[in-house]
């Protein structure tokens, strides 16, 4: 993340004020824990300045609804970048935003502790896992391959559709 050149105290104070007024920190706990930072405003030039200071995240043009003005949004959901942005903006956040930032930090710490093994105990490393975003439940290559072999065997034996119906969710019964 190459943001140090734009992270002066003055720029961060400006970005923190904008984030305090127009931004939000969304957290979701559970098997797919994640944190999303978001700013949505109608002034594109203001959002461009914010993105220029922060240096990470995605800008998006929201669909126009009815006769409302065009809304532009910035989102950031990558774990280490979210932590860095929250840490940089921390001194300029209000009480409520700091509370949400604390919740996000707790989610980050749980995520970091969960890296290492899948639910069935297989080692997750660069070779043994597919990892998507900040999900605490990575897809283990070994488990994925075992599920594939099980489906292939059930399809071969003719009881694949019965298992899918019996499960009720469209997946395999465990």
Query: For the chain, how big is the Rg over CA atoms in Å?
Result: 21
Q: What angle do CA 126, 58, 48 make, to 5 degrees?
A: 145
Q: Is the pTM of this model over 0.75?
A: no
**Residue 148 to residues 120, 142, 160, 164, Cα–Cα distance (Å):** 16, 10, 12, 14
Q: Are residues 41 and 90 in the same domain?
A: yes
Among the three residues 114, 132, 165, which one is the final residue of a domain in this structure?
114
Q: How many domains does the chain have?
A: 2
Q: Are residues 161 and 108 in the same domain?
A: no
Longest dimension (CA), the chain: 68
Q: Are residues 95 and 170 in the same domain?
A: no
Q: What angle do CA 168, 170, 173 make, to 5 degrees?
A: 65
Q: Are residues 60 and 110 in the same domain?
A: yes
Q: Are residues 137 and 165 in the same domain?
A: yes
* 3-class SS string, 1-42: CCCHHHCCHHHHHHHHHHHHHHEEEEEECCCCCEEEEEEEEC
pLDDT digits (tens, 9 = 90+) for 92-142: 999 999 999 888 888 777 665 555 666 666 666 655 556 554 444 556 777
- By residue range, what is the domain housing residue 155? 118-174
3 state DSSP class of 102: helix
Q: Are residues 143 and 165 in the same domain?
A: yes
Written as tens digits, the pLDDT of the chain (174 aa) is 455 578 899 999 999 999 999 999 988 765 566 788 999 999 999 999 999 999 999 999 988 877 788 999 999 987 778 888 999 999 999 999 999 988 888 877 766 555 566 666 666 665 555 655 444 455 677 777 788 888 877 777 766 554 444 444 444 444
Q: Are residues 43 and 102 in the same domain?
A: yes
């Amino acid at each position: 993340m190459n943001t140090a050149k734009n992270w002066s105290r003055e720029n961060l104070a400006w970005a923190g004020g904008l984030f305090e007024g127009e931004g939000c920190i969304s957290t979701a706990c559970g098997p797919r824990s994640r944190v999303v930072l978001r700013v949505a405003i109608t002034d594109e030039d203001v959002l461009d300045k914010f993105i220029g200071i922060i240096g990470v995240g995605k800008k998006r043009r929201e669909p126009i609804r009815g006769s409302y003005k065009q809304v532009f949004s910035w989102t950031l959901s990558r774990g280490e970048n979210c932590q860095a942005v929250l840490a940089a903006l921390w001194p300029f956040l209000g009480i409520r935003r700091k509370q949400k930032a604390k919740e996000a930090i707790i989610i980050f710490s749980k995520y970091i502790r969960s890296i290492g093994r899948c639910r069935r105990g297989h080692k997750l490393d660069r070779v043994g896992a597919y990892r998507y975003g900040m999900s605490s439940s990575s897809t283990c290559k070994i488990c994925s391959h075992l599920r594939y072999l099980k489906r292939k065997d059930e399809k071969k034996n003719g009881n694949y559709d019965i298992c899918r119906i019996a499960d009720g969710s469209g997946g395999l019964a465990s």
